[in-house]
Amino acid sequence: MNWLERAHDRHHHGRRLRVLGRHLSELLPKGARALDVGCGDGLLTRFVADRRPDLELRGVDSLVRGGTHVPVDGFDGRLLPHPDASFDAVIFVDVLHHADDPLGLLREGARVARRWLVIKDHSADGAFAHATLRFMDRVSNRRHGIAIPCHYWRAEEWQRVLAREQLAVEEWRDALALYPWWSRFAFERGLHFAARLRVAGAAPGPRA
């Protein structure tokens, strides 16, 4: 672990867990059975489960680790090992831009989800957006052997994909405050969002 990775863990990892866990807890509807795709060791999933005991959460990842914090199934990174509409919600936290086929994996999530997708990802808009996102990805993920293909979409591309896939935006948050105030100008600036999307044919549901 180099000094950048140590600094990331010291100043950002714990804050990200708390702040992102709060956003996910607020976005997931009451009583949902949810699948967290690309959950890693399941620590964030466990954090959300502890805040929201009404939820039933399970994970799936292409790199299953020992001693995960929630039950985690393996998959090939493309096809989710679950039947159609087998979960109320499917969660993608900083996963789609790592996928070989982001659109294909998004469609898999919509297939498995009965009602909602909850997504945290990036909008690659503005000066040096791609360079900043690549830097953050490498500091966070390279040491874990996670692929970094840098499939970042601009806000316009997200809007086009969601409209084509008939994913209706129920809530969209683009001021997440994942970073301390002194680093937000460099690493926040509209590059991150979290959203709850309603899959095609699903009626609007209750909030948490």
Q: What is the CATH number for 87?
A: 3.40.50.150
Residue 36 has pLDDT above 50, yes or no: yes
Q: What is the pLDDT of residue 142?
A: 57
Q: What would the pLDDT profile of 169-194 be if each residue is shown by its tens digit?
A: 999 999 999 988 888 888 888 999 99
Q: Per residue in 145-157, pLDDT tens? A: 666 788 999 999 9
Specify if 127 maps to a domain: yes
Say yes or no to pLDDT of 8 above 70: no
Kindly state the average pLDDT of the residues 70-77: 95
104-145 residue pLDDT tens: 999 999 999 999 999 999 999 988 898 988 887 776 655 556
Other Cβ atoms closer than 10 A to 67: 6
pLDDT bucket at 7, cuts 50 / 70 / 90: very low
With respect to residue 208, please indicate whether it lies within any of the assigned structural domains. no
- What tokens appear for 189 in the block? 């600036």
CA distance 59 to 41: 9
How much is the pLDDT for 9? 47
Q: In the numeric block, which tokens belong to residue 86?
A: 């087998």
Q: How long, in residues, is the chain?
A: 208
Domain-located, residue 203? no
List, in sequence order, every residue forming a beta bridge with 192; answer none if it has no partner: 122
- Mean pLDDT value across the chain: 89
Contact (Cβ atoms closer than 8 angstroms) between residue 176 and residue 94: no
- The mean-pLDDT minimum among 96-100, 157-161, 184-188 falls in 184-188
- What is the total count of domains within the chain? 1
- Containing structural domain, residue 38: 3-198
Q: Is residue 190 part of a domain?
A: yes
In a domain, 207, yes or no: no
**51 pLDDT above the threshold of 90:** yes
Average pLDDT (87-100) is 96
| Residue 172 token pair | 């969209």
Asked whether the predicted pLDDT for residue 207 surpasses 80, the reply is no
Is residue 95 over pLDDT 50?
yes
> What's the burial of 62, exposed, middle or buried (CB within 10 Å: 0-12/13-18/19+)?
middle
Residue 171 lies in a domain: yes
206 in a domain, yes or no?
Answer: no
